[in-house]
Amino acid sequence: MTGFCHHNRTTPHHRAPHRADRADKGYAVTINASGRPAGHPSGMRGPVPSGALPAGAAPAGVLTAETVLGPAPASPATATAVDSTAGGGRSVALTFDDGPAPEDTRALLAVLRRHQVRAVFCLWGDHVEAHPEVVREIVRDGHELAGHSMHHDDMSDWEPERIRADLRQTNAVIAQVVPGVPVPWFRAPYGNWGRTPEVAAALGMQPLGWRLAVGDWEPPGTDELVRRVMEGVTPGAVVLLHDGGGDRSQTVAAVDRIIPELRADGWHFDQPARRA
Ligand SMILES: [Zn+2]
């Protein structure tokens, strides 16, 4: 399958030279005027964060299985997509969709290890079945997991029962590969949420949105990707990137540059989290 994951099918993917243009045209910042991810149903913000998610400060690669399993969530998932870190400020959360892919995901893991950054990997069920060993490497490095559906279908008009079956199958496939490892997040393919948030929440997965996507599916070149992230990042933003679904070598190279550049500008890396 060679599909890409542009997460905003109603938006043209043209390049625009200025950030304001990009935001106006929804090309890079894929949230709507209400601040929710495009396509997300309206709803109240979730309650105070559970604190169940491990803090992002821990360096990657040192977490044990016990740490990964962690305590049970202190509060249930809600149907409101999380698109920010807990603390806000000059923090940013990196999330990677459509993997695992043997080459690019492994290269990305090496980059994240080297820079000691922990991320969220939104797993495509078919790819989990194809590359289970890469999922184990993701978990071994202490990253968090999200379900991203079994086959990367557009679920926007699916009934809850069909969504539930797909999400449960995806989680079962993940559980076969990494038994007992939680999947605290769900991200809908293409950001076409439909009724997936309520179903995911009922299954204990928090919908995971984003505040910045940079078109790494195009792909526009490593320099351009770095520029788009550096210009588009906002305090507490969840950033959407891709490690699978196509050649993501530019993304990997860009992340290797973005992390030190952001840190040099005073940013730090965190995990997504609910907040009041
Ligand atoms: Zn995707």
User: Which residues are in the CB-under-5-Å shell of ion ligand 1?
Assistant: 5, 97-98, 189
DSSP assignment letter at 80: S
Average pLDDT value for the chain: 81
166 catalytically annotated: no
Catalytic residue flag (residue 242): yes
Per-residue pLDDT tens digits for 34-52: 333 333 333 333 333 333 3
Tokens read off for 203 = 């299954």
Distance (angstroms) between ligand 1 centre and the Cα of 97 equals 5
Instruction: Round to whole Å and give the CA distance between 251 and 270.
Output: 19
Under DSSP, the state recorded for 28 is S
pTM of the model: 0.76
Cα of 264 vs centre of ligand 1, distance in Å, is 30
Q: Distance between CA 94 and CA 58 in Å, rounded?
A: 15
Q: Which of 83, 97, 98, 270 is catalytic?
A: 97
- Band of pLDDT at residue 75, cut at 50, 70 and 90: confident
pLDDT reported for residue 128: 98
Q: What architecture is domain 76-269?
A: Alpha-Beta Barrel (3.20)
pLDDT tens-digit map of 50-73: 333 343 333 444 443 334 444 444
Going from N- to C-terminal start, the domains of the chain cover 76-269
User: Residue 243 pLDDT more than 80?
Assistant: yes
Q: Using the Cα atoms of residue 56, residue 57, residue 60 and residue 66 in order, give the sign of their dihedral.
A: negative
The three-state secondary structure class of 269 is strand
pLDDT the model gives residue 91: 97
Q: For residue 121, report the distance from its CA to the centre of ligand 1, in Å.
A: 11
Average pLDDT value for residue range 189-203: 98
For helices 222-232 and 249-264, the axis angle rounded to 10 degrees is: 40
Q: Angle between the 102-115 and 249-264 helix axes, to the nearest 10 degrees?
A: 10
pLDDT class of 275 with cuts at 50, 70, 90: low
Which residues on adjacent β-strands are paired with residue 240? 95, 213
pLDDT at 28 over 70: no
The active-site residue, picked from 143, 152, 242, 256, is 242
Q: What's the 94 CA to ligand 1 centre distance in angstroms?
A: 14
User: In sequence order, what are the residues at sequence separation of 6 or more whose Cβ sits closer than 8 angstroms to the Cβ of residue 175?
Assistant: 181
CA distance 151 to 138: 20
Between CA 18 and CA 96 the distance in angstroms is: 25
Q: How far is the CA of 208 from the centre of ligand 1 (A)?
A: 12
Q: Ligand 1 centroid to 189 CA: how many Å?
A: 5
Q: What is the dihedral of CA 77, 90, 105, 9, to 10 degrees?
A: 70
